[in-house]
Amino acid sequence: MSASSAHRLPTFFIPHGGGPCFFMEWPGNPGMWDRMAAFLKGLAASAQVRPKAVLVVSGHWEEEAFTVNAGPNPPLLFDYYGFPEHTYRLEYPAPGSPALAARVQALLGEAGIGSGADATRGLDHGVFVPFKLIFPDADVPIVQLSMKTGLDPQEHLAAGRALAPLRDEGVLIVGSGMSFHNMRGFSPAFHPASQRFDDWLAETVALPRPAREQALENWQQAPDARVAQPRPDHLLPLMVAAGAAGDDPGRRVFQDEVMNVVVSASRFG
């Protein structure tokens, strides 16, 4: 893998919606996910350089050590429940990349970060649901990297820093989560809190790197942090994307209201 730094790829933190939301009718509000779907459909073009491969961190995979799925043809994990039967027959035959998986492990190791590999692990819905829109032809290899149990922001920022060289090697690094993820909080009463947290998030990603990383390490001090993220599994993918950004500034590139709350996406570089 080699690419000129002139073609350095950005990193993203994206929302992946709710379950298979883009591929089903949504009772009571059929157009609710349309703007998010449109954003995801335009993400590949916005990167300006077609990636050789994608490395994704999803809010739906945690392991004792950072772990990559290393198989050449990862299956899909239908890890959502109570949705229409046809959504369990979705297909997304994107290839894996054992070579990229090995490169990820090597970079983490060079930074003193232990990691593992799982040759049988599939892509969970935090990956295949948005990427069916981002690369609908399933023709870009995808490797998924787990989060590390404990969900320590510093550890995930450090992992991102270690993986930053991939951006010059044609690899698109994507954190897939939700900027608001309170399963009991998708109601109008929580809209103001979601807006305050999202405003903090937009201000934070735009900070210079040292201040940005300090703020992200202390995300629990943000306005309404624990309302927006009672458990930060859907926020930690942002830490990897931000860590890999280096000195590149971040900015909010998408914002919408879904299920009565504010959600957003960020881009670095």
Here the CATH number for the domain that contains residue 41 is 3.40.830.10
With a cut of 70, list the residues of the chain below it in pLDDT: 1-6
pLDDT in the model for residue 242: 99
Residue with tokens 């819905």: 125
CB-based contacts of 69: which residues, under 8 Å, 6+ apart? Answer: 96, 101, 117, 118, 119, 121, 122, 123, 143, 144
Is 142 inside any structural domain? Answer: yes
Is 1 inside any structural domain? Answer: no
Is 4 inside any structural domain? Answer: no
First to last CA, the chain: 20
Token digits of residue 133: 């829109």
Is 2 inside any structural domain? Answer: no
Residue 80's φ and ψ, nearest 5 degrees, are: -135, 160
DSSP state letter for 102 = H
pLDDT in the model for residue 4: 43
Residue 258's φ and ψ, nearest 5 degrees, are: -130, 140
Rounded CA gap, 176 and 153, in Å? 15
Is 233 inside any structural domain? Answer: yes
Is 211 inside any structural domain? Answer: yes
Is 21 inside any structural domain? Answer: no
Domain count, the chain: 1
pLDDT in the model for residue 184: 85
> What are 62's strand-pairing partners?
147
DSSP state letter for 111 = T
Q: CB-hemisphere CA count at 13 Å for 249? A: 8
Rounded CA gap, 222 and 122, in Å? 34
pLDDT in the model for residue 140: 98
What is the β-pairing status of strands 53-63 and 171-177?
parallel
Pick the closest to residue 96 from 63, 65, 125, 74 (CA basis): 74
Is 52 inside any structural domain? Answer: yes
Residue 206's φ and ψ, nearest 5 degrees, are: -85, -5
Domain that residue 115 falls in: 11-16+30-268
